[in-house]
Amino acid sequence: MDVIELFKKLLSFKSITPNDDGGMEFIKEYLNDFEVIENEKEGVKNLFIYKKFSEGDHLCFGGHIDVVPPGEGWESDPFTPTEKEGFIYARGAQDMKSGLAAFLWAMKNAQNFKGTLSALITSDEEGDAVWGTKYMLEILKEKNMIPDYAIVAEPTCEKVFGDAIKIGRRGSINGYLKLKGLQGHAAYPEKAINPIHQIAPVLPKIAGFNLDEGDEHFSPSKIVITDIRAGMEVTNVTPGELKMMFNVRNNTHTNKEKIKNYFDKCFEGLNYSLELKQSAEPFITNPDTKVVKALDKAIKKETGTTPKHSTAGGTSDARFFAKYGVKVVEFGVRNDTIHAPNERTTPEEVIKLADIFKDVIEEWK
């Protein structure tokens, strides 16, 4: 089975989160000479397959078999891979069954490895991600099997294949603010406390405000206001309370405490409450780390391109690896149709991705 056959087989599983549709059993059969640790919790299936070739580093490939629902607007069956005009169309073509096929094929076909080679695959990356990679890593820690290095095969390339890898990700902090006022008649503003009027002079200090300057790897941590609401949708009653929601995609220079301190300063003297929830932690892997250099070298060999080191985008399961001190990077095919109708990628990208992962394995020193 070549990598394109494998890719099409994986695409044919209707693995909408958290259902794997039999995909995990197929993967176990495909890599039947690897050891297996697996679990299922709250409908989520996790598979860890590994082989110790010799003493040395433990390199793990991370990925997910689950996909988002196909939605409307498809020109072909989203779970029947369709080749047309140089592309393969199916849900998960980019995110991320291309990456899954590439590293499974590389693990099966690479000649030896200096250390332990493994893959951690979940059916819950696109969902809440509570019982997926995060949970499986807890189990691996108990077994003293946390890898030294990891490559998560998410789609990372921007304009051409090979132009970008991710060496880190921003975190995500959600904010919920309530500003208390005193409801009253619009004709008697002196008898009310209008929270809309109170927040008006504060908004320029928070809307789009950069909490830090960023650095060579990260853009600044910006306050992005996503919702403001107050009142009863009438013209003659001033509101008694205002609610505001915001998000900060934070780098390693900003945390919840820094955000709280800034809001305390901006809203000093006002009756407000603030709740902050960190849904993802930021991380960065040093570009001089072994796994980054190995991936850079393999990409250059197969594509002639020197990839840029990016931290852009949302979150991924790489953040869970980083929490355990794993030196983790991400690399996969182009990212331009993920989660969209008629998601697609090219056979050439999948083949090159598999060859790059094979090179990394075989050239690991």
Active site residues: 66, 125
Residue 254, CA distances (Å) to 101, 265, 318 in order: 37, 16, 20
Residue 204: Cβ-neighbour burial (10 angstroms; 0-12, 13-18, 19+): exposed
Contact predicate 79/14, CB 8 Å: yes
Contact predicate 155/95, CB 8 Å: yes
